[in-house]
Amino acid sequence: MNDRERFQAVMHYQPRDRGYLCDFGFWTETLTLWYEQGLPRTVGWRNSDEYFGMDGFERHWVNEEGAAFISRNKLLKAGGLKIGLWPYFQEKVLEDRGETEVVQQMDGVRVLRAKVMSSIPPHAGHLLVDRQSWQEHYRPRLDPANPERYPQNWDETIRAWSDPQREHILVLPVGSLYGWLRNWMGVENLSRLVYRDPKLFEEMVTTVADCIYTVIRRVLEAGAIFDAAAYWEDMCYNAGPLLGPKQFKQFIVPHYRRINDLLRRHGVPVIFVDCDGKIDALLPLWLEAGVNCMFPIEVGTWDGDPLKLRREYGRELRMLGGFDKHILAQGKDAIEREVQRLAPLVEEGGFIPFCDHRVPPDVPFENYRCYVEAARRVWGKGVNLKPVGW
């Protein structure tokens, strides 16, 4: 089976040669440390799938730079697609503080960024603070009629995206109905807005949803074929959601439904949400709104266990991720136990396991190699595996 056939078989609980093997990447600092531990310096984010013998996942998402994938044995670079803010804000350094700097990002958010060993930078300010700033800075950048949102090489791109013979999966990102707004305005400011000015919050959600819907509708109606669609939300933390289920159902779910209905009409079989944290309270509402897969099933201190979720929701819920990243730092025996524990779910289907977030720098390179070898032996059954680089 090729990657695409295997992915589809797994997601539809159909017979297949083996499990689908992939990862979700690494912290930049992880690869930097691994170079000192034996990883060839020629290996980076873009070619790590080939080195670790993976089937590939995130490398085959449509994005604003374009999706590179194999189509009839030819490497194509499909044109970009802009479904969110466009044009971007200018990224620039606003203040140098020595070891840190205040930077305006392309989404207009000001962050305090460390110059070395940086993780997610904390917010230092926002352009979006009220209705006036929404109307001035953000709403104009959510106009779906802007022709720059679509690839200049439109015909070539659509031909590539609609090729029924391609061997790799193609994932259509469909944006964010809450996560983007949370970034643009900040968690506290947006949380207050929901109660102080619910009409503005509703307008913002609707504007974002209208933009996403209109852009992807043009692509789908042109004949593009996608194996999955992906939302990004990150709207939960270690104790639950940042937006209450009542407000989520009132303001967010109706737009999920209409976007998901559009995707279903055009044959997109897997619709997943990328949301970190404790998703329990919102998961039933996502399923109700037409989502059928969750990612990355973070384990955390709240025990986000894929086996537990399968027992609770059955085959209605597909899952991506769910391998506790902390186990990767514990050594070969712990890694082997977790690979074996997840094996029955891999065999059942509807589940593609990988590190529940990008691999952190406390994981030694040798440990990750042990993980890859165990996954190939147990989940991959040693069948039709791609070569590794060691």
CB burial string 255-274: b at 16+ within 10 A, e below: bbeebbebbeebebbbbbbb
What would the two tokens of residue 61 be? 């998402």
| Confidence band of 64 (pLDDT split at 50, 70, 90) | low
Indicate whether 72 pLDDT > 70. Answer: no
The DSSP bridge partners found for residue 112 are 102
Q: How confident is the model at residue 301 (pLDDT cuts 50, 70, 90)?
A: confident
Is residue 296 reached through a cis peptide bond, with omega within 30 degrees of 0 on the bond before it? yes
pLDDT recorded at residue 357: 83
Mean pLDDT of the chain: 93
pLDDT at 117: 63
Give per-residue burial for 312-343: e unless 16+ CB within 10 Å, then b.
Answer: eeeeebbbbbbbbbebbbeeeebbbebbeebb
What 8-state DSSP symbol labels residue 355?
Answer: B
* CA pair distance 243, 111, nearest whole angstrom: 23
Q: Report which of 307, 295, 377 is spatially closest to residue 342, judged by C-alpha positions.
A: 307
Residue 102 reports pLDDT greater than 60 = yes
Domains, the chain, in order of start with CATH, read: 3-87+129-378 (3.20.20.210), 90-126 (no CATH)
Residue 79 clears pLDDT 80, i.e. is over it: no
Q: What is the pLDDT of residue 65?
A: 58
- Indicate the pLDDT class of residue 63, thresholds 50, 70 and 90: confident
Query: Could you tell me if 208 and 180 are in contact, meaning their C-beta atoms sit under 8 angstroms apart?
Result: yes
Residue spans of beta strands (DSSP E) within 135-288: 171-173, 228-232, 236-237, 240-241, 270-274
Average the pLDDT over each of 90-104, 105-119, 121-135, 254-268 and give the range with the smallest value: 105-119
pLDDT at 78 over 90: no
pLDDT of 377 > 80? The answer is: yes
CB of 324 within 8 A of CB of 299?
yes
| pLDDT above 80 for 73 | no
> Is the pLDDT reported for residue 338 higher than 70?
yes
Do 271 and 320 touch, CB atoms closer than 8 A? no
Indicate the pLDDT class of residue 67, thresholds 50, 70 and 90: low
Q: What percent of the chain has pLDDT over 70?
A: 95
Residue-wise pLDDT for 18-44, tens only, equals 999 999 889 989 999 999 999 999 999
pLDDT for 66 = 56
